[in-house]
Chains A and B, each alone.
Chain A
Amino acid sequence: MMEDKLSRVAQGIPPSGIRKFFDIVTEMKDAISLGVGEPDFDTPWHIREEGIYSLEKGKTYYTSNSGLIELREEVCNYLDRRFDLKYNYKEEILITVGGSEGIDVALRALLNPGDEVLVPEPSFVCYKPMTTLAGGVPVPVPLQAKNEFRLTAEEIEAHVTDKTKAIILAFPSNPTGAIMDKGNLEAIAEVIRKHDLVVISDEIYAELTYGVKHVSIASLPGMRERTIIISGFSKAYAMTGWRIGYAVGPKAVIDLMTKIHQFAIMSVPTTSQYAALEAARNGDKDIQEMCGAYNQRRRFMVDSFRKMGLDCFEPLGAFYVFPSIQKTRMTSEEFATKLLFEQKVAVVPGTAFGECGEGFIRCSYAYSIENLKIAVERMGAFVKKHTP
């Protein structure tokens, strides 16, 4: 009976391309996975300990809808210290359940029925479904390998219509590892201002860049007033399971986002907020250490793929490598499936992140070097066997 009572909008959303893979990999016992989208480090102990202490102290009540005032203040200090971004902790920040909730409430606060949202792809999987659920229309903008998957002004121009309301900017990128440097951002900022678009800038990987410091588009002239920055603690401090993030932006939109958040979520788990407070206050050193470890693995992976003969641009952010597998003449899904069954290595087909991910695979390097070595050895044998 329930089948014909369901939401057509929700039913119309295609299932995540990753799900199928997940089921097969879980069944396979000795498979090595490069499919994980989260850090391999545990949350640093001083942060976990602060969470435990808050529980001991009985801090188990709701907090204000926007989040603990101390946490909001500390996050604003952190953004100023690390990225030279200035936000007022009293009215320009909302603490959210991970970056994901931030994206959801930002879209819901912005979109009217039929509003179009530009979604550069390949990208993290949630932007299109969230846009649809918020009543908007997602418009994929395919990025090019020849540009190292950076977004260009021409690509925006080619997809903008008079219905375009907003653009999602997610750099450093999951799945490609691409970044946008200041020059790249300046080039697109001009077009964004020209078409009067709002930017939802998902900067969850901002702390994980290699050799280049992350620049937020909000720090460019005339962009702060049209940008919502979404970020969080998951990647920088290895805190994925705590589900805590934040959104900062102009008061008007944060107010509306807070209203939605207030009805849908109430407030973020209090334990996570206290742990996050410690992270924002005393976690800079942890970030530096983890980032250093990722960088070593990144070099190792890029070099390994190039030795295999796979085209692989040098990713400067996040913890993914996105090599091309086109020379094997297989589709991404074929490649990933065969690799899993023949060599027991799990990677994610590029198509899981948008159609233009065809011909690529996403390999995470959030694993120990020892683990990565075994994986690339097996992949090397596989590529050799299947290259015509």
Chain B
Amino acid sequence: MREQILKAIELNGKRTVEDLALMLGNPESEIAAEISEMEKERIICGYHTLINWDKTGVEKVTALIEVKVTPQRGQGFDKIAERIYNFKEVKAVYLMSGGFDLTVIIEGATMKEVALFVAQKLAPLESVLSTATHFVLKKYKDFGVVLDEPVKDERMAVTP
């Protein structure tokens, strides 16, 4: 049942327990209990809203930074990852395979702000060997959702 609940709310965090109970065919009490259990276990880590900021007046810049680091003895990459992800500007940190070690995604109000963060906070960290900053120019699709106008139902209204 967990997997079914997660699938049903993955793209719509607003689904009510009542709707989920109907859709999945389980009692509301069971669904509610399962959800709160998953929240406690940090399987469900939050209910966010996917916003297309480009359509608002708010200025936002996103950058993807490739970071090469020296892993620390006994702690691997985790310690340095923690040093980085605790900055509130950092939206995501992933450990990568391949040509660099960490992907760091940063959001700032302006390009300058992001550049300063990299220069003043990220690059000087002792374990950081190098950084390469890539600015996002346009988001087409995020979290599995195409950030464009919703598609109209073009099917004929009544068909046999």
Chain A residues packing against B (C-beta within 8 Å): 16, 18, 21-22, 25-26, 31, 33, 35-38, 40, 42, 124-126, 174, 292, 296-297, 299-300, 303-304, 346, 348, 352, 369, 373
Contact = CB atoms under 8 A, between A and B. Distances in A.
Contacts of B159: 18, 22, 35-38
Interface of B: 7-8, 19, 22-25, 151, 153, 155-160
B128 to A, nearest CB: 39
A369 B158 contact: no
Q: Max chain A CB contacts within 10 Å: which of B7, B151, B156, B160?
A: B160
Contacts of B22: 299-300, 303-304
Contacts of A36: 155-159
A173 to B, nearest CB: 13
B153 A40 contact: yes
Nearest to B155: A36
B160 to A, nearest CB: 5
Contact of A25 (B7, B23, B25, B157): B157
Contacts of A18: 158-160
20 contacts: A18-B158, A18-B160, A22-B158, A22-B159, A26-B157, A33-B157, A35-B157, A36-B156, A36-B157, A36-B159, A42-B151, A126-B160, A292-B7, A296-B24, A300-B19, A300-B22, A304-B22, A346-B157, A346-B158, A369-B23
Contacts of B151: 42
Contacts of B157: 22, 25-26, 31, 33, 35-36, 346
Nearest to A296: B23
Contacts, number: 57
B158 A40 contact: no
Given A18-B158, A299-B25, 15 more contacts: A18-B160, A21-B158, A22-B157, A22-B158, A26-B157, A31-B157, A36-B155, A36-B158, A36-B159, A40-B155, A296-B24, A346-B158, A348-B158, A348-B160, A369-B23
3 A-B pairs closest in CB distance: A35-B158, A296-B23, A25-B157
Nearest to A17: B160
Contacts of A373: 19
A31 B155 CA distance: 14
Contacts of A37: 159-160
A352 B157 CA distance: 15
